[in-house]
Structures are given as structure tokens and as C-alpha cells.
């Protein structure tokens, strides 16, 4: 990742990329009011998070929860200049809107499963690589400082297709890197991954892409989210997507629920002596803002319920 200016901030060992305001909110039926959405992002920023995915630029008729994406981006960029503000764009049109709003980092979903790709973005994986190439070219011409990344959806399996061949995942990752993106990460969109698979696939990704091998976006659908994060960490992954209170999932992948809980992930790493730069107590406070914005929505996480152990201290 290439975070925005973090001058005077302490160094970290891993980057926690908070995806709740996008991945989380797109997966619930209720619409969080824009003012509360911005207040939630403010609370997240206060915790020390260095990267926040604040929305997606998709047609409001498809995801009305994201209709205010431009307004939210402008708020986050103006209010939090030390944070990398990121938005998802599914195509060139979405990227144009995101750049018009001043979004400094774009992420494109490219699915390794043709079935999921058609359901999610109505394009084949090959057509999405062409879309990625067009977005990269536009950014180079009009906004050269913009960071463009790809998250390879369904990299570990698909509820529509079933198993996804690992060779297909790696070939698609190489194609996206050749299209010019800064990074390519792997996403367990459907929560089907297990630690041995995570280690194997991220090792292959790193062998092929080197420093352009990107984030681990892992779900807790079947209870293996943290175990899979540790597996990725063990093979050198240092950027992890997660969502406050575990909010989210993919609306176009049946049964795909449960992002890794940011509070639990931060607690895990800090307990191991791995510095995240994130204040766990401030994350718990941000849950209260989230609850105000989505009253009645289930909030997940083990550490917020149990609290911190006596004598616990974050990584020095």
C-alpha cells in the first residue's frame, strides 16, 4: 500500500485497511444517513487507522447505500489529510466519478470466478482486465498520483461456481499487474479459505508479483478469519482488510457474510507485539457511532464483548 502522508505518526508493522464504510454498508438493507456515515468515518480516523475505504462509485439503483459516495469522499479527504481515503470503482465510469470527487486511491474488483464476475459486474474476468487497463490509463493521463489496486474476488472459492483453480487466480493477478496497477490483493469473498490454502496462494502471488503482491481481504463466514490472517502474516503479507464489528459481505455471492472484525484483528496483532498503530479503545468507541447509524443491526466481535485482559498493553 501507499498510505497518504503520515508524518509524525509512529511506524507500524502491519497496515489495517478499514473497509466497513464500503463493504459493510453495501451489505445491509438499512441506509446510514450521510451525516452519521461521516461521523463514523471521523471516529474510525480518530483510532489511528491509516487507510479507510469510504464508499463505492456504482449506480445508485444498484446500491442505494452508496449514493452519497462523492460527498463522503470529499468529507474524508478534507477532514483527514493524513489518511489514505479509498473507494471501490467497478469500471471506467465509476473511476471517472471517483476522480471527480478527489479520491486518492481506487480499488477495482476483479473476480477469479467467471460466474461471480458476471453476477457482480456483468463482465467476464478478461473484460474486467480490459477495464482495469482503461482505468490505469485514465489515471496516468489525468490524475497521475492516484493509486490503483485490484482485489481478486473469490480467489479462494465461489458459492456460485465452487472451487476456483489456483492457476486461474495467479494468471489473473499477473494480467492485472501487467495492466499497470500498483498492487493486486486476494479476497476471500465467500469465506471459503483455510490457512494452508491462504499460505500457498499468497506465496505464489508474491513469487509472481514481488512488491506488487497486495492485501489480504479475508472473511470470517466459517470462523477462520483470524486464523487465515495469521497464515497470511506468516508468509509476509502486511496489509489486511477488515471491518468494524465484522459488518459486511458480498451481496452478489449467496451466503458470503462476515468480514474479519477490525477490533479482534487489532487485538490479535497488538497482543503478539505486532504494531498496528490503532487504538483498540477508540475502535470500541467507534462501534457506538456505528450503532447509532444502523440501529438494530447486529455487531460482531469477541474482544469488544469480553473486554481487555487485566494488565494487557498494546505493542510498544
Which positions are catalytic? 250
Please give the distance of CA 209 from its chain centroid, rounded to a whole number.
20
Q: CB within 8 A of 171, min separation 6: which ones? A: none
Phi, psi of 109 (to 5 degrees): -85, 120
Pairing type for strands 84-88 and 183-187 reads unpaired
* CA atoms of 27 and 218, how far apart (whole Å): 16
Q: What whole-number distance in Å separates Cα of residue 89 and Cα of residue 130?
A: 14
Query: How far is the CA of 71 from the CAs of 41, 62, 145, 234, in angstroms?
Result: 13, 18, 21, 39
CA-CA distance, 110 to 189, in Å (whole number)? Answer: 11
- What are the cell numbers at 84? 489514505
Look at the block and give the residue holding cell 494452508. Answer: 196
Nearest to 186 by CA among 87, 111, 80, 246: 111
| Dist CA 295 CA 145 (whole Å) | 38
100's enclosing H/E stretch is: helix 92-100
Please, what's the b/e burial string for 219-239 (b: 16 or more CB within 10 A of its CB; e: otherwise)?
bbbeebbbebbbbbbebebeb
Report d(CA 59, CA 90) in Å as an integer: 10
How crowded is residue 42: how many other Cβ atoms within 10 Å of its Cβ? 15
Amino acid at each position: 500500500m501507499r498510505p497518504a502522508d503520515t508524518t509524525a505518526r509512529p511506524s507500524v508493522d502491519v497496515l489495517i485497511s478499514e473497509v466497513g464504510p464500503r463493504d459493510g454498508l453495501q451489505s445491509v438493507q438499512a441506509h446510514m444517513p450521510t451525516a452519521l456515515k461521516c461521523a463514523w468515518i471521523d471516529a474510525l480516523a480518530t483510532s489511528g487507522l491509516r487507510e479507510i475505504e469510504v464508499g463505492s462509485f456504482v449506480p445508485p439503483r444498484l446500491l442505494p447505500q452508496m449514493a452519497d459516495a462523492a460527498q463522503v469522499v470529499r468529507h474524508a479527504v478534507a477532514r483527514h489529510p493524513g489518511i489514505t481515503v479509498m473507494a471501490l470503482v467497478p469500471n471506467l465510469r465509476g473511476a471517472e466519478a471517483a476522480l471527480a470527487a478527489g479520491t486518492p486511491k481506487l480499488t477495482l474488483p476483479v473476480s477469479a470466478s467467471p460466474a461471480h464476475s458476471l453476477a457482480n459486474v456483468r463482465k467476464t474476468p478478461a473484460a474486467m482486465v480490459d477495464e482495469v487497463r482503461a482505468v490505469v490509463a485514465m489515471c496516468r493521463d489525468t490524475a497521475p498520483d492516484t493509486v490503483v489496486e485490484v482485489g481478486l474476488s473469490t480467489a479462494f472459492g465461489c458459492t456460485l461456481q465452487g472451487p476456483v483453480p489456483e492457476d486461474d487466480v495467479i494468471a489473473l493477478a499477473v494480467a492485472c499487474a501487467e495492466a499497470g496497477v500498483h498492487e493486486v490483493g486476494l479476497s476471500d469473498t465467500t469465506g471459503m479459505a483455510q490457512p494452508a490454502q491462504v499460505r500457498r496462494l499468497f506465496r505464489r502471488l508474491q513469487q509472481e508479483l514481488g512488491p506488487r503482491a497486495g492485501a489480504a481481504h479475508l472473511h470470517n463466514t466459517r470462523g477462520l478469519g483470524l486464523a487465515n490472517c495469521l497464515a497470511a502474516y506468516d508468509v509476509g503479507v502486511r496489509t489486511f482488510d477488515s471491518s468494524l464489528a465484522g459488518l459486511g459481505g458480498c451481496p452478489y455471492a449467496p451466503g458470503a457474510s462476515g468480514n474479519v472484525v477490525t477490533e479482534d484483528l487489532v487485538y490479535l496483532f497488538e497482543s503478539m507485539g505486532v504494531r498496528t498503530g490503532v487504538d483498540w479503545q477508540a475502535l470500541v468507541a467507534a462501534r457506538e457511532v456505528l450503532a447509532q447509524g444502523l440501529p438494530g443491526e447486529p455487531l460482531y466481535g469477541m474482544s469488544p464483548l469480553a473486554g481487555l485482559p487485566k494488565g494487557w498493553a498494546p505493542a510498544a
